[in-house]
Structure 1
Amino acid sequence: MERPALPPGALAGLRVLDLSRVLAGPWCSQLLADLGADVVKVERPGSGDDTRAWGPPWLQRDDGSASAESAYFLSANRNKRSLTVDLSNPEGQRLVRELALGADVLLENFKVGGLAQYGLDYASLAPLNPRLIYCSITGFGQTGPYAERPGYDFLMQGMGGLMSITGRPDGEAGGGPLKVGVALTDVMTGLYAAVAVLAALQRRHVSGTGQHVDLALLDVQVAALANQASNFLVGGRVPQRMGNAHPSIVPYQDFPTADGHMIVTVGNDSQFASFCGVLGRADWARDERYATNPQRVRHRDALVAAIGEITRTRRTDDWIAAMEAANVPCGPINTLDRVFDNEQVRARGLRVELPHQEASAVPLVANPIRLSESPVAYRSAPPTLGQHCEEVLRDWLGLEPEAIAALRAQRVV
């Protein structure tokens, strides 16, 4: 059965040539693709994007056997077309150069200067396609003393300060720096890259010309320190690891229950009064030590200990039901099976399935953007390696089957 035709997305007609791999660049291009852009993912013949090999787990075929499609790759490459090109071959370089001439956006995350040897850097392509928006993603950016260094998410979480404020204090059991459980710096860089590309497109509407976008993982990680960076710059004190506690709000952390833990996020004094009522300690809301948030922060240790003594007397679900009835922000610490079984997550459709060449369907996480007039469309599953070679070369370059066969014979594609 043919799938119904989908309405054009907000970025329909935009051509994106994606030379990036792993996560930050592909996350950006997947977002653009979800919004309707035609994204061509250029990959190495034979191996493709590094993350194709980052398994297990692998997508299961209908007969139960494992395919060659890693879950990692599937997470960041929906709605794209895969074209394999050998960039070490001069003919492959020429081919990508021709594709760039018809592109609106080029994404790449090669080392600084890495594409210059192929004539595919911004300085080489901009004169040929002045409207091209060329987005470079690197660990440390195009300038500065670290520009030549390779950079990875884990490294940036450490160097950029995130790990210094993530984890339990050194004096506690399990204390020490921790990375976030996903490659968050990569994901945030992909989001910043998409915003930058859209800003450059808007500027092109005015100026008629493209520009070079320079994004660094380290820059993004420092920028994303948000209030913690501001606390240091304004207050002059180096923030420390506080486990799940908040430096400026109390109570805003996890608390023990009779069967596990729950999260309480009290954001104002009114919510605190309601919270105290649920705990059976309405007097705390009138206690000068706890009545206002600055006072609660000042007396954090005593208040948190007292709350914990009460919360450990009842089960998590019982506490959550009582606090939700009193409009106290709270929730469980869900494992991923519970996340995807959550009624709100199911109601919002955060799991989607798309037909795949290797299986009848591949499960994916939905895009969280909701647009009323030009909604996100799930047009195609993440591609198999080189799945769209003929299609892309025909659509973008107008090549005839004989010319494409010749490129294959020369192992260019």
Structure 2
Amino acid sequence: MSGALDGLVIADFGRVLAGPYATMLLADFGAEVVKIERPGLGDDTRSWGPPWVDDQSSYFLGVNRNKKSVALDLSDPADLASARQLVERADVVVENFLPGTMDRLGLGYDAVRQLNSDIVYCSVTGFGGDNVLPGYDLLVQSVGGLMSITGPDPATPTKVGVAVVDIVTGLHAALGILAALRHRDRTGEGQRVEVNLLSSLLSALANQSSAYVGAGVVPEAMGNRHPSIAPYELFDTADRPLVLAVGNDRQFASLVEVLGAPELADDARFATNTARVEHRDELCKTITDALATNTADWWFDKLTAQRVPCGPLNNMADAFALAERLGLAAIVEIDDPRRERPARHVANPIRLSATPAEYRTAAPRLNENGADRLGVED
């Protein structure tokens, strides 16, 4: 079966997470991605461990499947010439060097479009424009406001437990590339796509950034509570915590019915979401007292039967077990002739009915495709 992006060639100069995540998503749908890496060292994430899978970083393996690896020293004239040959025949270039680096190498957008007039050229930076501040996820979580609204209280700023800014930026990069390719299909014109970590985070902050931009409200950390919805947080039960995510009055009425306190649905303090937010502390004490009488799984069964959004606090193993029970096929296995057992990967979350994601190859060894130099078949 042909992939949705079969025939598309991507010259991938991306490193670490945002760029590689974007190109892996595109590779899953058939794009041929040639990953250019530093000789001897490769992508920074090749050395980011533990944990390791055999002798390879699980971090690197998780965002580089379906790609080819070619090691090129871009300070070497011969290797630089090879890189130019690749971008000359590519459909897309992705890079996330500091601004100005690709220009100095003669591989910037203006130079590349002289070689390849309809190129789609995606630059991923930390802070956009000519700003050369290094763009690491933790740094942007801090300066971009995310840490100020994450954690138990305003005095304890906390990072999110995954590099979420990089992931969101990678998604924006992939979307921008696809939009530019659609424009090229219609007009024959390539263009430059620019995304940066800070702008991606400010957009992804959604209701929190909108609260500031639209209403002048500077939000603060509230632990597991929501600034605009109640009850919408984590509650203790007889054994382990349970999340309640009650988004409307019908769900609230169903919740208190199951809790054995149906009169609360008509109580003026709790009858509307706005009232529930205003009287959150009183409401949460009542809910906590009720939930303490049984286990999280018991409440999960009772509440979901009445379509009340809730769920127990899962660890990673629990989360994948839940996905399996729901039939989501969240783990895929890829035959890897370099190893005794198949490589296990997290599945692409996008489901296409006619051209689904394909898992052709596990992440490449450094310079695995260097023998054919560009890693692209004629």
Gaps of 5+ in 1: 1-6, 61-66, 399-413
Report percent identity of matched pairs: 48
- Is 1:93 aligned to residue 80 of structure 2? yes
Alignment map for 1:232-243 (pairs within 5 Å):
232-243=212-223
- Is 1:165 aligned to residue 149 of structure 2? yes
- 2:91 aligned partner: 104
Rounded to whole Å, the distance in 1 between the matches of 2:53 and 2:326 is 22
- Is 1:58 aligned to residue 45 of structure 2? no
Per-residue deviation, residues 74-99 of structure 1 (Å, max 9, x unmatched)? 11001111111111101111110011
Write out the 4+ residue segments of structure 1 that deviate beyond 3 Å after TM superposition: 343-346, 391-396
CA 1:395 to 1:22, structure 2 compared with 1: closer, same or farther past 3 Å?
A: closer
CA 1:255 to 1:394, structure 2 compared with 1: closer, same or farther past 3 Å?
A: closer
- Kindly provide the amino acid, as one letter, of the partner of residue 111 in structure 2: S
Asked if the contact 2:69/2:375 (under 8 Å) is kept, the reply is no
- 1:365 aligned partner: 346
Gaps of 5+ in 2: none
Alignment map for 1:15-54 (pairs within 5 Å):
15-54=9-48
Asked if the contact 2:230/2:276 (under 8 Å) is kept, the reply is yes
Asked if the contact 1:59/1:362 (under 8 Å) is kept, the reply is no
- 2:189 aligned partner: 209
- Kindly provide the amino acid, as one letter, of the partner of residue 354 in structure 2: E
CA 1:184 to 1:345, structure 2 compared with 1: closer, same or farther past 3 Å?
A: farther
Asked if the contact 1:81/1:392 (under 8 Å) is kept, the reply is no
Query: 1:395 Cα deviation (Å)?
Result: 3.8
Asked if the contact 1:21/1:49 (under 8 Å) is kept, the reply is yes
- 2:261 aligned partner: 281
In the superposition, the TM-score normalised over structure 2's length comes to: 0.97
- 1:379 aligned partner: 360
- 1:13 aligned partner: 7
Per-residue deviation, residues 191-247 of structure 1 (Å, max 9, x unmatched)? 000000001101112221211111110110111110111122222221111111111
Q: Which 10-residue stretch deviates more, 93-102 or 381-390?
A: 381-390
| SS of match in other structure, 1:188 | helix
Rounded to whole Å, the distance in 2 between the matches of 1:266 and 1:394 is 51
- 1:72 aligned partner: 59
- Kindly provide the amino acid, as one letter, of the partner of residue 365 in structure 1: V
- 1:186 aligned partner: 166
Rounded to whole Å, the distance in 2 between the matches of 1:391 and 1:306 is 68
- 1:63 aligned partner: none
- Is 1:336 aligned to residue 316 of structure 2? yes
Asked if the contact 2:34/2:375 (under 8 Å) is kept, the reply is no
In the superposition, the TM-score normalised over structure 1's length comes to: 0.89
- Kindly provide the amino acid, as one letter, of the partner of residue 47 in structure 1: L
Rounded to whole Å, the distance in 1 between the matches of 2:192 and 2:217 is 37
Q: Pairwise CA RMSD of aligned residues?
A: 1.4
Alignment map for 1:255-294 (pairs within 5 Å):
255-294=235-274
| SS of match in other structure, 1:257 | coil
